Amino acid sequence: MQEGVRLRAGASKGDIREKVWDYLEASGLAEFPRPVHHRIPNFKARKTLLVPTPRLRSGLFNKIVPPPGAAKETLRICATSQGIKEYSVPVGLDGKARVDLVVVGSVAVSEKGWRIGKGEGYADMEYAMMVSMGAVTEDTPVITIVHDCQVVDIAEELLGDHDLTVDYILTPTRTIKTNCKRPKPRGILWHKVSYEMLGKIPILKSLRYKEKQLGKDVTLQDEQPDLANANKSAALNEKAMAGNAGLQASAGSAQTGQQYVESDSLSPRLEGSGMITTVYVGNIPPNLRVSELKCALREFHAAPLRVNWQGAQHRAFLDYKDKATAESAVSSLKGLSLGGNTLRVELAKNQRNKGQVEINSQKRM
């Protein structure tokens, strides 16, 4: 451990973070942005890093595509968050990305390869998502670049099964091969993912849907019900599936070139309410069936009162009982990917009252 950062015996993760941050700030080693607290520290080491989408707001990967003949200053911008916005294109879940080397930031790391981040779990989640996507394997090396003062002793009992370890540590003066034997995360630990996290990281919704289709257990942290609630949920799901059996028999064979409107049994209760709010769903892939969309809507707890399927135009309109319910559906479906396309989901620009929707729906049928 580099002299300067002194830790007491039995130091917690929080203690280690504070000591390293305090030392970097007091010594002036950290670069912009300052203060360094609650951040992965930046310092000059003459190395270039490529980063994932900031805070995973709009996906996992962004591919930097500099303009032809880009000057040195433009290339410098490409390596910043501004460059991700201006010179990158997203890589979807079906982009068949393969990662040869993973570089992660750290607040502290031990020579054994045990790593502590800033406490928000994004690096651990990014790695787990790459595993789920097939972008990395257990043989993909993971390195971290830190200052010498960030290499400290870390007790193994501080680590959880979701924590990412590293294989190599690069400092301005050393290259450390950790020979770490602790297993890395083998995918997303859904029982540690909350609804709040799903809302903050939209791509998680698509990954969860994809893994559920493969038969994996994707029960969330907020979905650890008692047996009675589990049985009730299963009964409701069976009822919903039975209620849609007739629909799928007629619409399941409907290709995207056909137009289809389905009304829910709840809609008669809202006759004349004038509160219906419509959600627009665009960028629907040409081979997607209405039954597949409906299945996804149920999965993400966004089942509408009515579905207006316009497959030939690669879109659909979903009617909800009020604006709050529609906005909740938009939030739940944000980032959803079906058939290789990330759907465009937003409130429809032209909203109509309940009576108008009913009349127009009848005309379309």
> 3-state DSSP call for residue 54?
helix
Q: What is the pLDDT of residue 207?
A: 85
Residue 103 structure tokens: 């570089």
Q: What is the pLDDT of residue 152?
A: 96
Q: What is the four-CA torsion angle of 262, 265, 270, 275, rounded to 10 degrees?
A: -40
CA distance 326 to 332: 10
- 């960030």: which residue's tokens? 150
33 preceded by cis ω (within 30°)? yes
Q: Are 65 and 88 in contact (CB under 8 A)?
A: yes
Sign for the CA dihedral angle at 108, 113, 114, 119 comes to positive
Q: Are 275 and 319 in contact (CB under 8 A)?
A: no
Q: What is the pLDDT of residue 3?
A: 62
Partners of residue 262 on adjacent β-strands: 307
35 preceded by cis ω (within 30°)? yes
Return per-residue pLDDT of the chain as tens, 365 residues. 456 788 888 899 999 999 999 999 998 888 878 899 999 888 777 543 445 766 666 567 777 778 888 888 888 888 777 887 888 777 666 656 778 889 999 999 999 999 999 988 888 888 988 888 888 898 999 999 999 999 999 998 999 888 999 999 999 999 999 999 999 998 998 888 888 888 777 778 888 888 888 888 888 887 766 533 544 454 445 544 444 444 444 444 444 455 656 554 334 444 445 589 999 999 998 888 888 898 888 878 889 999 999 988 899 999 999 998 998 888 888 778 887 788 889 999 877 654 443 333 333 43
Which amino acid would we find at residue 92? G
